[in-house]
Amino acid sequence: MKDMNWLLYSTGSGSGKLPTPQPSSAASMFLRSKTKTRRSSLNHRFDFISTFSASPLRAAAAASSSTQRNASRRRSAAASTGTRVACSLLKAEDNVNDDETCELVSGFEVSVDGEGVAGTINAYLFKAVKNNNGIGILLLSDIFGFEDSSTREFAYRIACNGYNVLLPDLFRGDPWTKDRPKVDFEKWIAEQEAQGVAKDIAACAKWMVDEFAAAGISNKLGLIGFCYGGGKVIEVLAQDQGAYFGIGVSFYGTRMDDTSVASNVKVPVLFITGDNDPLCRVSVVESIEKIIGRGSRVVSFKGRGHGFAHRPQSFEEDEDAEKAFTLMRNWLDGLLAIANANANAG
């Protein structure tokens, strides 16, 4: 079994570095037992390049153009030599080794213009350095915000598969923290002004589209969200109606009881949840999936509760978290298919 918290990378010195993500306590012992065998093979550095003069996303997008044009050539070469090519443009398979796939990911702190909303939006951009496929993913966090180590680790893993992942601060520096009294939660969530969050998400999507357009790439974006962000996936896609986004993934989305909004969603959505999650009832998700149609899919994991895919709390949850990640990765192949079709047509 591959552990969900396999991420063992070192950070450079100096300002602007992200803290090293910490594994969940339940998986810590399992991780330590694997450290000796994994550390030697995972020598990736996760560097923030604060002096980078050009846009990091435009640089990634520009580099991916030749990657897409040469995808079929590499696929043929791999077939003829019998050697596995760890390239995100190939179909993601269950048995792909993370050591091979995750070549190198760079991280950048970015500020996005709020597009009429006061101030700028802080965000982290994770981009694949090798095998960058020119596809942007907007990742919406749970209530613990964009600095949470579990969410950043998940974003890193997505980027390892060739993507450019933008993780914005949805709560403008005021995420929910575990030390707050639970009785204050509804007051806090009400203070996260719905229109403000929606505008920030729209501004981040536009920023990504503009950055790719500046590099001559017009691929559709993918939208992924957890918990609070998973519920926002449906709202955002309904508002977008296929303009920027080509596909969605909602992990155990919350506050989705108003299913009527789903009728405006114009792209397929993968719903991943647990059948023991009181915050994301399977019946509600199935209703939304039927309303959207377009090949959408619901996958419910037996016995799993809230947050298992990015916060596994046991070895069993860790195994299902890995399965959920593979489902998401294969679902994102839909974006790659669109991008490759557009590239061949051009």
**For range 252-273, the mean pLDDT:** 95
Higher pLDDT, 239 or 32: 239
Q: Residue 224 pairs with which residues in a beta bridge? A: 139, 249
**Dihedral sign computed on CA atoms, order 152, 96, 2, 42:** negative
**For range 152-173, the mean pLDDT:** 95
What integer pLDDT is reported at residue 341 of this predicted model? Answer: 74
**For range 215-220, the mean pLDDT:** 86
What integer pLDDT is reported at residue 314 of this predicted model? Answer: 86
Interval 205-214: pLDDT, tens: 999 999 999 9
User: Of 21, 8, 23, 10, nearest to 321 (Cα)?
Assistant: 23
Average the pLDDT over each of 64-73, 84-93, 294-303, 337-346 and give the range with the smallest value.
Answer: 84-93
pLDDT greater than 80 at residue 222:
yes
Compute CA distances 27 → 2, 30, 125, 316, whole Å: 11, 5, 27, 10
What integer pLDDT is reported at residue 208 of this predicted model? Answer: 95
**For range 2-25, the mean pLDDT:** 31
CB 270 within 8 A of CB 250: yes
pLDDT greater than 70 at residue 84:
no
Average the pLDDT over each of 83-87, 152-156, 199-203, 230-234 and give the range with the smallest value.
Answer: 83-87
**For range 187-200, the mean pLDDT:** 86
Percent of the chain exceeding pLDDT 90 equals: 56
What single letter denotes the amino acid at residue 227? C
Q: How many CB atoms lie under 10 A from the CB of residue 193?
A: 11
Query: Which tokens belong to 309?
Result: 């895919």
**For range 160-189, the mean pLDDT:** 94
C-alpha 57: how far from its chain's center? 15
Q: With bands split at pLDDT 50, 70 and 90, how would you rate the model's confidence at 19?
A: very low
Average the pLDDT over each of 11-25, 48-62, 210-224, 241-255 and give the range with the smallest value.
Answer: 11-25
Average pLDDT along the chain: 75
Q: 3-state SS of the chain: helix, strand, coil percent to 5?
A: 40, 15, 40
CB 163 within 8 A of CB 137: yes
Average the pLDDT over each of 53-62, 146-155, 316-325 and give the range with the smallest value.
Answer: 53-62
- Please, which residues have CB within 8 angstroms of residue 23's CB and are 6 or more apart in sequence? 5, 7, 31
Burial class (CB in 10 A: 0-12, 13-18, 19+), 312: buried
What integer pLDDT is reported at residue 49 of this predicted model? Answer: 26
Domains observed in the chain:
103-344 (3.40.50.1820)
What single letter denotes the amino acid at residue 339? A
**For range 330-346, the mean pLDDT:** 81
Terminal Cα distance for the chain, rounded = 42
Interval 36-76: pLDDT, tens: 222 222 223 233 222 223 466 655 555 554 444 443 333 33
Query: Which tokens belong to 95?
Result: 């048995």
- Please, which residues have CB within 8 angstroms of residue 161's CB and are 6 or more apart in sequence? 88, 92, 101, 102, 128, 329, 332
Q: With bands split at pLDDT 50, 70 and 90, how would you rate the model's confidence at 344?
A: confident
What integer pLDDT is reported at residue 122 of this predicted model? Answer: 96
pLDDT greater than 50 at residue 300:
yes
Radius of gyration of the chain (CA): 19
- Please, which residues have CB within 8 angstroms of residue 216's CB and are 6 or more apart in sequence? 61, 62, 65
